[in-house]
Amino acid sequence: MNNRNTKFGEKLIKGIAASPGVAMGKVCIHKDIFPHIPVLPIEDHQIGSETRRVQKAVEDIEGAIRKDQEIIRRKIGPKEAEIFWAHLSIIEDSHYLAEVFERIATQKIKAEAAVVFQIRKYEEVFSKVENSYLEERILDIRDIGKRLLEPLMSPLEFDCPFEEPVIIAGLGLTPKDTLG
């Protein structure tokens, strides 16, 4: 059988476009990583190192957020870059981080699971409030959570495996996903 003549087929996917125009090409389905994070137990002596891992991740992503903000400010405009101020305010919120640290210590779980629990908590609270501004902040919370998870985990198997440009499709893309 000659594989060069094999046709993969076409599928029409409808959704909200993040950019104008028409595109044809390989599609990468962007998956939600949060349901796939295992809740792994830790020992008492590991609590400090798990907390330090989160602190290091926070330091790393603060710089990355500021860099992304500057890229968007230069390439698109200052108004569009304002979204990253919300992200910085979340990651710099001592209450948000304190709850992650407390969960690591009291539930004795790895940092990744503590971050996911925190994201789910905020999603649940924000989704119950009938306020469009807070509903929009759910995406910001998810973006911060994903940013925190990336340095805590080995390379994400959920990222698109292609080396060339692709069309990204997913149920919800964060500002960081869109920028990438």
Q: What is the tens place of the pLDDT at every residue in 155-167?
A: 555 566 667 777 7
Residue-level length of the chain: 180
Whether the CB-CB separation of 112 and 152 falls below 8 Å is answered with: yes
Q: 2 pLDDT band (50/70/90 cuts)?
A: very low
* Tokens standing for residue 79: 């108004």
Count of other CB atoms within 10 angstroms of residue 84 = 24
User: 158: which residues sit within 8 A by CB, 6+ positions away?
Assistant: 30, 31, 33, 36
Identify the top-confidence range among 11-25, 77-91, 113-127. 113-127
Strand ranges in 33-95 using DSSP code E only, listed in sequence order: none
Q: What is the tens place of the pLDDT at every residue in 133-180?
A: 777 778 788 888 888 888 888 655 556 666 777 777 766 666 666 655
In the chain the domains, ranked by start, together with CATH numbers, are 41-156 (1.10.274.10)
First to last CA, the chain: 38
DSSP type of residue 23: -
- pTM exceeds cut of 0.75: no
> What number is the average pLDDT over the span 62-82?
89
